Amino acid sequence: MTPATAPLAADVSRYLARRARWSPLEIGFWIFAFATIWLFPGKYLILKDTAILALFALSLDLIVGYAGIISLGQAAFFGLAGYFSGLIAKYGIVDEPVIALILSGFAAAALGFVTSFLVLRGSDLTRLMVTLGVSLMLGEIANRYSDLTGGADGLQGVTIAPVLGRFRFDLYGHNGYVYCLIVLFVCFLLARRIVYSPFGLSLRAVKENALRASAIGIPVKWRLVAIYTVSAGFAGIAGALLTQTTAFCSLDVFSLERSADLLLVLIIGGTGYLYGGLIGAVIYKLLQDWIADLTPQYWQFWIGLVLVAIVLVGRERIGGGNAALRAFIVRLGGRLLGRRAVPAPDRQ
Residues within the interface to other proteins (CB under 8 A): 1, 5, 8-9, 12-13, 15-17, 19-20, 193-194, 196-202, 204-205, 208-209, 211-212, 214-220, 223, 226, 321
Nearer to other proteins, 257 or 316 (CB): 316
32-68 as b/e: b if 16+ CB within 10 A: ebeebeeeeeeebebbbbbbbbbbbbbbbbbbbbbbb
- Could you say which DSSP state residue 91 is in? T
209-219 as b/e: b if 16+ CB within 10 A: ebeebeeeebe
Beta bridge partners of 167: 163
Nearer to other proteins, 31 or 216 (CB): 216
Nearer to other proteins, 5 or 146 (CB): 5
Nearer to other proteins, 143 or 197 (CB): 197
Least distance (Å) between residue 241 CB and other proteins: 23
Residue 333 makes CB contacts below 8 A (sequence gap 6+) with: 307, 308, 311, 312, 342
Nearer to other proteins, 191 or 303 (CB): 191
Least distance (Å) between residue 62 CB and other proteins: 11
Least distance (Å) between residue 6 CB and other proteins: 9
Least distance (Å) between residue 348 CB and other proteins: 9
Long-range pairs for 189-196 at CB < 8 Å and ≥24 separation?
191/58, 191/62, 191/234, 191/274, 192/20, 192/274, 194/62, 194/230, 195/62, 195/66, 195/274, 196/19, 196/20
Least distance (Å) between residue 15 CB and other proteins: 6
Cα dihedral sign for 245, 247, 252, 256?
Answer: positive
Least distance (Å) between residue 227 CB and other proteins: 9
Q: Nearest 5°: phi and psi at 68? A: 70, 20
**Residue type at position 340:** R
Nearer to other proteins, 1 or 25 (CB): 1
Three-state DSSP class for residue 297? coil
* Alpha helix (H) residue ranges in the chain: 6-19, 24-39, 44-67, 75-90, 97-119, 124-144, 146-149, 174-196, 198-208, 210-215, 220-246, 256-269, 275-294, 299-313, 323-337
Three-state DSSP class for residue 95? coil
Least distance (Å) between residue 116 CB and other proteins: 16
Least distance (Å) between residue 292 CB and other proteins: 38
Nearer to other proteins, 14 or 335 (CB): 14
